[in-house]
């Protein structure tokens, strides 16, 4: 027990010393992206206690709908039983706990009996030396106390809303600590089972001894494919796909954790695209950010921190007005942290690969559909090149509880966003300039939307996806240009289709049996029929207009 106490003291001392080095290194090596101001005692205490997240909690957002202590505990037991192990292992776990508690009670009872039966001075002297050993807590009981302490404290403080799959995955990874302690008791319980089996079948005791080894090998083989991370370069290629497409000396505003940390790692640790100034919007909103402003000499800050309504704060629109100057271009990943009516009134976000470029609203209207088609396609060619190393994360291996799943989500969100922006520019230009060359932009926009909805269930379930597809096909029917390329190799960047699970073979024009207009007309009817049949579509502001146009065209066809 003394050894355990000494080890615990050493761990606590080293743990404390690591935190005490934070102010020293922060003053000697100040760098962008570091969290909190730890150069003051108040700031250090705030940092250690995670006060920005609600003091030892995990979530700084609205946790009114976060589940309670018992629900989290039941979720842990369910995950431990059916995801991490199996019912047999959990049975060994409870058997180990039962054995530990019963042994402690018996040892404590015997210790009391030993004290009452022995009266001599020598025995009493011996007792004084061995009392803790006889009646005090055993190592197993200390481990059990640690397990219960972790479950109670963590599940009491953790406030992540677990109905969100990604948040559940974050919470789930904190169970590794309690699972390690749990396997200690699994071992105790399993030893009892093996002892019982050897007494039951003494002639097969050698086979029984090898049972745990067989069990471990079986679990390893069963989970090998899902846990094989040998080719997992997903976040490296994700961050490179963002940075490589940005112009020199640009500014990147992020508001997603996976985007911020992966980009920052490449810049800080690998020195990749350090000319890009990356800044986290969420971090910019804390009071300690005032001490960080000098680390960004290329930027101007019209206040002490990013916020809304408080004294000396500035909004995102204020920041953009003073920094969108000369040749300094600003890009954003994620959404603004606070409502800002001036941001929506004066600025617009133009899809730029996996992020968006923020431009002044009056300047964005000068861009033609063909100009944007060529520029954005060039950017996506760079994005696809970065994803070639290990492709997109496999949806089966990386489900919605993993961070890798967010890469797939962002890829298709921005992929379809590029398509809808291109379609919007083409339709707008077609309405204002009837002779404008918008045909190729129309073809490309619907091809990208079709590919997105075929490979992403969420995009396929959104009403505006089908509405936009129908609108694009309708304009293809109306278009009178002769030189339109429907060749897949011309429409998509090289190697992009190799990243997809499903191609366009079943929906794209083959050139056989019907002309382009007939094919587009057929796809228009299918797309808008799908849109009108979806319940969510009825809340779309243009639902009645689309319905009227659809019924009108179908009526004309029937009359013919």
391 lies in the same domain as 526: yes
Determine the pLDDT at residue 127.
46
27, HSE (Cβ side, Cα atoms, 13 Å): 8
Q: Is residue 352 part of a domain?
A: yes
Bridge partners of 382, per DSSP, are none
Q: How confident is the model at residue 260 (pLDDT cuts 50, 70, 90)?
A: very high
Q: Are residues 66 and 52 in the same domain?
A: no
Asked whether residue 76 falls in the same domain as residue 33, the answer is no
The rounded percent of the chain whose pLDDT value lies above 90 is 55
The answer to whether residue 114 scores a pLDDT higher than 70 is no
- Number of structural domains found in the chain: 4
Contact 357, 252 (CB under 8 A): no
Domain boundary among 366, 396, 412: 366
Pick the range with the lowest mean pLDDT from 11-15, 117-121, 481-485, 512-516.
Answer: 117-121
Same domain, 435 and 306: no
Which pair of structure tokens corresponds to residue 12? 């606590």
pLDDT tens digit sequence for 62-76: 666 678 889 999 999
- Could you list the beta-strand ranges (E) of 175-312: 251-254, 277-280, 305-306
Cβ atoms of 243 and 276 closer than 8 Å: yes
Is 90 exceeded by the pLDDT of residue 116? Answer: no
pLDDT for 117: 52
> Please, what is the angle between helix 234-243 and helix 369-387, to 10°?
150
Of 172, 182, 180, 173, residue with least CA distance to 91 = 182
Q: Domain check: are 119 and 201 in the same one?
A: yes
Please check whether residues 49 and 66 belong to one and the same domain. Answer: no
pLDDT score at 131: 38
Confidence check: pLDDT of 320 > 50: yes
Measure the CA–CA gap between 362 and 27, rounded to whole angstroms: 44
Residue 491 domain flag: yes
Domain stop point among 33, 58, 83:
58
Asked if pLDDT for residue 130 goes beyond 50, the answer is no
Higher-pLDDT residue of 345, 128: 345
Mean pLDDT, rounded, of the chain: 87
Is 37 inside a domain boundary? yes
- Identify whether residues 289 and 162 lie together within a single domain: no
Give this prediction's pTM. Answer: 0.86
400, 352: one domain: no
Q: Which of these three, 338, 366, 394, is where a domain ends?
A: 366
Q: Is 372 within the bounds of a domain?
A: no
* Full residue range of the structural domain in which residue 20 is found: 1-58
Q: Are residues 415 and 504 in the same domain?
A: yes
Using the predicted structure, report yes or no on whether residue 262 has a pLDDT greater than 70.
Answer: yes
What integer is the mean pLDDT of 375-385?
A: 95
Helix (H) or strand (E) holding 360: strand 355-360
Is there a single domain that holds both residue 325 and residue 344?
A: yes
Sole residue written with tokens 């998509």:
492
**pLDDT at position 83:** 87
| Percent of the chain at pLDDT exceeding 70 | 92
Cα 342 from Cα 134, distance rounded (Å): 73
Domain presence at residue 371? no
Per-residue pLDDT tens over the stretch 215-252: 788 877 777 777 788 888 999 999 999 999 999 999 99
Q: Please give the pLDDT value at position 365.
A: 62
373: part of which helix (H) or strand (E)?
helix 369-387
Q: Are residues 396 and 472 in the same domain?
A: yes
Residue 129 pLDDT more than 50? Answer: no
User: Domain check: are 46 and 88 in the same one?
Assistant: no
User: Is residue 220 in some structural domain?
Assistant: yes
């Amino acid at each position: 027990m003394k050894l355990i106490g000494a080890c615990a003291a050493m761990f606590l001392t080293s743990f404390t010393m690591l935190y005490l080095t934070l102010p020293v290194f922060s003053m000697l090596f100040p760098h962008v992206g570091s969290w909190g101001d730890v150069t003051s005692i108040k700031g250090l205490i705030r940092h250690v206690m995670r006060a920005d997240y609600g003091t030892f909690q995990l979530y700084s957002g609205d946790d009114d709908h976060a589940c309670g202590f018992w629900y989290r505990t039941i979720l842990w037991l369910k995950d431990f039983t059916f995801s991490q192990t199996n019912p047999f292992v959990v049975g060994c776990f409870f058997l180990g706990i039962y054995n530990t508690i019963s042994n402690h009670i018996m040892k404590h009872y015997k210790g009391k009996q030993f004290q009452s039966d022995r009266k001599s001075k020598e025995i009493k002297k011996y007792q004084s030396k061995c009392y803790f050993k006889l009646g005090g807590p055993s190592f197993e009981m200390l481990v059990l106390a640690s397990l219960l302490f972790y479950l109670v404290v963590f599940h009491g403080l953790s406030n992540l809303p677990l109905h969100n799959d990604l948040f559940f995955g974050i919470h789930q990874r904190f169970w590794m600590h309690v699972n390690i302690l749990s396997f200690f008791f699994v071992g105790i319980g399993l030893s009892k089972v093996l002892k019982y089996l050897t007494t039951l079948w003494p002639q097969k005791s050698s086979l029984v001894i090898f049972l745990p080894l067989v069990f471990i090998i079986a679990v390893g083989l069963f989970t090998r494919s899902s846990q094989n991370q040998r080719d997992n370069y997903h976040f490296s290629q994700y961050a490179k796909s963002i940075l490589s497409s940005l112009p020199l000396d640009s500014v990147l505003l992020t508001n997603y954790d996976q985007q911020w940390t992966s980009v920052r790692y490449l810049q800080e640790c690998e020195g990749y695209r350090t000319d890009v100034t990356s800044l986290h919007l969420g971090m910019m909103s804390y009071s300690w950010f005032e001490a960080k402003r000098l680390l960004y000499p290329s930027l101007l800050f019209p206040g002490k921190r990013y916020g809304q309504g408080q004294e000396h704060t500035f909004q995102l629109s204020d920041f953009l007005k003073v920094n969108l100057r000369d040749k300094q271009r600003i890009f954003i990943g994620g959404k603004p942290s606070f409502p800002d009516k001036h941001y929506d009134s004066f600025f617009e976000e133009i899809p730029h690969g996996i992020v968006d470029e923020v431009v002044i609203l009056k300047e964005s209207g000068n861009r033609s559909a063909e100009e944007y088609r060529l520029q954005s396609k060039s950017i996506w060619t760079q994005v696809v090149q970065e994803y070639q190393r290990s492709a997109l994360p496999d949806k089966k291996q990386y489900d919605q509880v993993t961070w890798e799943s967010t890469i797939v989500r962002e890829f298709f969100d921005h992929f379809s966003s590029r398509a809808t922006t291109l379609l919007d520019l083409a339709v707008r230009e077609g309405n204002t300039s009837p002779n404008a060359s918008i045909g190729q932009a129309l073809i490309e926009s619907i091809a990208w939307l079709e590919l997105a909805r075929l490979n992403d269930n969420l995009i396929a379930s959104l009403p505006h996806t089908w509405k936009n597809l129908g609108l694009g096909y309708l304009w293809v029917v109306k278009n009178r240009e002769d030189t339109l390329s429907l060749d897949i190799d011309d429409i998509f960047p090289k190697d992009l289709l190799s990243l997809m699970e499903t191609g366009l073979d079943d929906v794209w024009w083959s050139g056989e049996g019907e002309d382009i207009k007939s094919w587009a007309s057929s796809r228009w009817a299918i797309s808008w029929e799908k849109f009108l049949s979806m319940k969510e579509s009825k809340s779309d502001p243009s639902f009645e207009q689309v319905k009227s146009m659809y019924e009108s065209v179908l009526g004309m066809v029937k009359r013919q």
